[in-house]
Amino acid sequence: MTDDTYHGPQLGIVAFPLSSRAWRQLPALDRIIMRSERAGPCVVFTGRKTRDGYGRMTLGGSEVSTHRIAWEALVGPIPDGMTIDHLCRNRSCWWPDHLRVVEKKINTLDGYGLTAQNARKERCRFGHKYRRAVYPSGRPYRTCDPCARRRASESRARKKEKR
Residues 39 and 78 in one domain: yes
Q: 79 and 101 in contact (C-beta within 8 Å)?
A: yes
Give the domain extent around 115: 1-120
Residues 114 and 125 in one domain: no
What's the pTM?
A: 0.70
Residues 21 and 54 in one domain: yes
| Direct distance between the N- and C-terminal alpha carbons of the chain, in angstroms, rounded to an integer | 93
The CATH number of whichever domain residue 99 belongs to comes to: 3.90.75
Q: What is the pLDDT along the chain (163 residues), one digit of tens a residue?
A: 444 444 555 665 555 556 667 767 778 888 898 889 998 999 999 999 999 999 999 888 899 999 999 999 999 999 999 999 999 999 999 999 999 999 999 998 888 888 888 888 888 889 999 888 888 888 888 888 998 899 999 999 998 888 7
Residues 47 and 16 in one domain: yes
Q: How many domains does the chain have?
A: 2
pLDDT the model gives residue 3: 45
DSSP 37: E
